[in-house]
Structure 1
Amino acid sequence: MKQPELFGTNGIRGVPNEDLTTDLAMGIGKAIGTFFNGGKIAIAKDTRISGDMFMLAVASAIMSTGSDVIYVGELPTPGLQYYCKSKGIPGVMITASHNPPQYNGIKAIDKDGTEIDEESEIKIEDIYNGKLFKQASWEKIGTYNYDSTAIGLYMDSIVSMVDEKAIKERRLNVVIDTGNGASYYTSPTILTKLNCHVVSLNANPDGKFSSRNSEPKPENLVDLISVMKTGKFDLGIAHDGDADRCVFIDEKGNYIDGDKSLALIVKHTIQKGDIVVTPVSSSDALENICREKGAKLISTRVGAPIVARAMIDNNASIGGEENGGIIYGKHQFCRDGAMTMALMLNLLTHENKTVSSLLEEIPDYTMAKSSVARKKSWEEIKKLLMENFSGKKMDFTDGVKIFDEDGWTLIRPSGTEKIIRIFSESPSKSLAEEYNKTYMDFLANL
């Protein structure tokens, strides 16, 4: 099957004025406008300093095709997606999500609020490569308008999906680190609406992400972890640059891996007969939980749009990835950091237990992650893996998943960077780390 060349796992990304130029942005903008063929197209951006440049380039290109552009502001990607779903119009998000500040990107959103599928991405690329752009006559060129209601619409929708009254009565003590990204206003405000006692870190827009790196990994959350170790708070929360992901710190200051927070939220959200969707990179803990609850688990290739499409096709209630990206189908079919945050508040309120005690109920698996630079083509790497580890069971749903005696390792090319990602899991921490090192060393020496 043909794969998109410009669109990666989550849109087009690159370094401004290097591999992501305004010429490329305008060409893609024209292709998007041509593909959606008239009407209105919403556009938003995160806080990156190159956001205005790319937003204006894409917007002007879309208008040249005869579509009207509605700028809805600086807000999380799921905020734009909810607006698109609510209004029934497509959209474009200018973001590089968790990538460092020197990156930016372009993500296309469908009329139902989901990220466009691969087939649509290929059609947009074909329009771009063939310069098959629609060009409106002077009197039919699109207009540019601003709609300030998107942020309020999004925040109110999040609050409406949880037990607002109970959470307000619980009055949880929460620390949130928005990392100078797109959630700097929305997530602290949602917490305030839910009557939490809120301490905010880095809740100011800063396109250089001066306070910390955008990806919410433990090494980037030193300040948040330090505050949580004071023992004065119930929950620590952190987002990435565009806030489609959310990770947590427990009341003792311990970082909670994304696979564990996903398992915890799934366990306290699903009922018998429900369907859960997750990529092959997710923890086996989810399979155990679904079996225990009488729910069905469906595994897919890695990528939030792929998970979302599978959820729609199978009428799944919840899904997500091990990186803190949870998709709550009852709200919208996309990763949503604020919705994930609200679901965690909801279960803490109803269970009336600490986060650490709730995590003790989750099947205990350890996941080790690493990456190496991709020096050869993926097809060459895949062939070498199959030849050198031919005696082991393998799965090729996405990349190569190799099963060892008491665990597994998934090896796949990143859709956003020129690296190979390596995920290893086992009930034994030492084995997970051993498996990860074995395959990392093999790939590094190719």
Structure 2
Amino acid sequence: MSERAGNYATEADLVDLDELESAYFKLRPDPTLPAQRVSFGTSGHRGSSLSRSFNEAHIVAISQAIAEYRAAQGITGPLFIGIDTHFLSGPAFASAGQTLITAGVNLRISAGGSFTPTPALSHAVLKYNEVARLTGLGLADGVLITPSHNPPADGGIKYNPPHGGPADTTATKWIEQRANQLLAAGVVDHASLREIVPFAEKTGTVTQHDYAAEYIADLKHVIDMTAIRSSGLRFAAHPLGGAATGYWQAIAETYELNLTEIGPGIDQQWSFMTLDWDGKIRMDPSSLNAVKAVVDSASHADYTLTLANDADADRHGIIVGTELLNPNHFLAVAIDYLLTHRKGWHSATGAPLTVGKTVVSSGMIDRVVAAHGATLEEVPVGFKWFVPGLSAGTTVFGGEESAGASMLTFEGGPWSTDKDGIVLCLLAAEITAVTGKTPAQLYQELTERFGPPAYGRIDAPATAEQKSRLLALSAADIKTATLAGESITEILTHAPGNGAPIGGLVIKTADAWAAIRPSGTEAVMKIYAESFAGAEHLKRVQKEAQELLASALS
């Protein structure tokens, strides 16, 4: 934890945008160095032009690989493409667009050149393909240029196949390997690429798509907007300078809500932010340090709720008064509410409804799901694991502890098969409007029913070698039979819900659990832990989990 965590950013914390742009075009990655190769984590390739991990060569190679992949898969419809507000998203959009058009791909770009939240693009792909399947048209897919909540110097690109959600490991490995082949071959002619006529002028290859109008008009199919309007709930939304900027004001106007979009608008240095746990600017709406500026401003306004999103609006933050609700707490409240208030979700066969969670999410969710007689599906970290169930309408809700979730429409059909921070924020407003209680109050009621868990996550620095060794650990590497005074009941390396590798370890006892896994995009290993035996027991679980990890890696 940095001693500056929660402090406002200073001039010294701000990235030089001119330097970022120059590095994007001028610096060439060395494909023999792992840190400079294309690498897809849990959701796309991320990096910075300054470290030669997100440069023009990367984007051209990835875009060409995507064009070849979709051709090999018989995907012949348009490719929906959007960007978030990170500075590097702009030049990457031009590189990707020009490369894809040259490869013969027809693009759907945002009307007026506006920014596109991840859920709006996912929803657009799903809606197009619903018609395409009925009419025999070629299916569409999507590309989102975003590093999500990562710092301002970063860029990112992710691919969403026709199911609308994050690509699975088979697809990302194919794209990653092909992109690295192209990178190694040095096929990118930077000068000629930038001389191509801007792709928006290429008649017949680019169509403008109004992502915002379509998405906002359809919100009534997934959120009870009438209940929010009728309640008169006064709430605010802060897009944290991200792609949801402007969306919230349009939502307020469309549905006549007592909702105010707050914040300074788009600032690609994010100079208005407070620093995250490690002293970096990071647009994470679920981190108290990162959103302290929002919490401070909310404390001076009479809003029942203040909602927040990250740069591509796939994450949600729920602030009640001056309290940022823990994402796990809100997921539990959301699931409890939805299983009671979505009558259209009841299975026609009478089978229990399925709720998805990641293995590092709170055990409170397990208790809530069981109380409703529903089925819990535990999957590894990564929203891609929820895509099959959400697509088929068999998983009614899927959520991650990192504040990413999506759910079905009122009718039980897919809404967005990628994380939707806007809808989850609006769900908080619906819950408050319908129940007359805030999510914080409802979570307190859950703790009275099921017990108060203590939950925490520690991010520890980790080298590439340490992360690799952690991935290779097995249950046999754990040489102790107890954790924090309790017998270890289970050690998992694969998720119970689908048998997929966790990418680390989960250790369970009667009252607690700990999970250890490497980050897919940052040089850290993450240690998650939870105890239903109190905060002091949690500290012991965390301490012993770290000792256990050190012993296993020694």
Q: TM-score, normalised by structure 1?
A: 0.90
Distance in 1, matches of 2:103 and 2:216, equals: 32
Change (3 A) 1:389 1:211: farther
Retained in 1: the 8 A contact 2:108–2:209? no
Distance in 1, matches of 2:106 and 2:468, equals: 42
1:334 deviates by 1.7
Retained in 1: the 8 A contact 2:48–2:153? yes
1:353 deviates by 1.9
1:200-220, CA deviations, whole angstroms, 9 ceiling, x for partnerless residues?
Answer: 332512222222131121112
1:143-186, CA deviations, whole angstroms, 9 ceiling, x for partnerless residues?
Answer: 54251411110111223322222211112111222111111111
- For structure 2, the 5+ residue unaligned runs are 1-36, 130-139, 188-195, 197-201, 274-281, 341-345, 347-351, 410-414, 482-487, 495-501
Matches within 5 A, 1:160-175: 160-175=221-236
Runs of 4+ in 1 over 6 A off after TM superposition: none
AA paired with 2:521?
A: T
Give 1:369's match in structure 2, choosing from 446, 449, 457: 457
Residue 437 (structure 1) aligned with residue 543 (structure 2): yes
Distance in 2, matches of 1:444 and 1:207, equals: 39
Give 2:284's match in structure 1, choosing from 201, 210, 215: 215
- Residue 93 of structure 1 corresponds to 144
- Residue 23 of structure 1 corresponds to 57
Change (3 A) 1:82 1:357: same
Retained in 2: the 8 A contact 1:325–1:335? yes
- Residue 256 of structure 1 corresponds to 325
1:9 deviates by 0.4
1:20-44, CA deviations, whole angstroms, 9 ceiling, x for partnerless residues?
Answer: 1111110110111111125421211
1:386 deviates by 5.0
- Residue 335 of structure 2 corresponds to 266
Retained in 2: the 8 A contact 1:181–1:209? no
Residue 341 (structure 1) aligned with residue 425 (structure 2): yes
Retained in 1: the 8 A contact 2:38–2:53? no
- Residue 307 of structure 1 corresponds to 386
- Residue 79 of structure 1 corresponds to 120
Distance in 2, matches of 1:159 and 1:431, equals: 44
AA paired with 1:10?
A: S
Distance in 1, matches of 2:510 and 2:211, equals: 50
- Residue 170 of structure 2 corresponds to 119
Give 1:44's match in structure 2, choosing from 74, 82, 91: 82
Retained in 2: the 8 A contact 1:275–1:316? yes
- Residue 9 of structure 1 corresponds to 42
1:420 deviates by 0.6
Residue 329 (structure 1) aligned with residue 408 (structure 2): yes
- CA-atom RMSD, angstroms? 2.6
Change (3 A) 1:200 1:441: farther
Residue 420 (structure 1) aligned with residue 461 (structure 2): no
1:279 deviates by 0.8
Matches within 5 A, 1:100-115: 100-115=151-166
Residue 187 (structure 1) aligned with residue 266 (structure 2): no
Distance in 2, matches of 1:109 and 1:328, equals: 17
Matches within 5 A, 1:380-419: 380-381=469-470, 383=473, 387-391=477-481, 392=488, 393-397=490-494, 398=502, 399-404=504-509, 406-419=511-524
Residue 358 (structure 1) aligned with residue 442 (structure 2): yes
Distance in 1, matches of 2:91 and 2:245, equals: 21
Change (3 A) 1:388 1:301: closer
* Higher deviation after alignment, 221-230 or 13-22: 221-230
Distance in 1, matches of 2:369 and 2:429, equals: 22
Change (3 A) 1:5 1:190: same
1:433 deviates by 2.8
Q: TM-score, normalised by structure 2?
A: 0.74
- For structure 1, the 5+ residue unaligned runs are none
SS at match of 1:317: strand
1:246 deviates by 0.4
* Higher deviation after alignment, 403-412 or 88-97: 403-412
Retained in 2: the 8 A contact 1:372–1:420? yes
1:45-102, CA deviations, whole angstroms, 9 ceiling, x for partnerless residues?
Answer: 0011111110111111111211122222412111111112222311111000011111
1:116 deviates by 1.6
Distance in 2, matches of 1:296 and 1:45, equals: 36
Distance in 1, matches of 2:255 and 2:293, equals: 24
SS at match of 2:428: helix
Change (3 A) 1:250 1:313: same
AA paired with 2:423?
A: M
Retained in 2: the 8 A contact 1:93–1:108? yes
Distance in 2, matches of 1:423 and 1:62, equals: 40
1:443 deviates by 5.0
Retained in 2: the 8 A contact 1:276–1:311? no
Q: Number of paired residues?
A: 436
Percent of matched pairs sharing the same residue: 22
Distance in 2, matches of 1:291 and 1:71, equals: 43
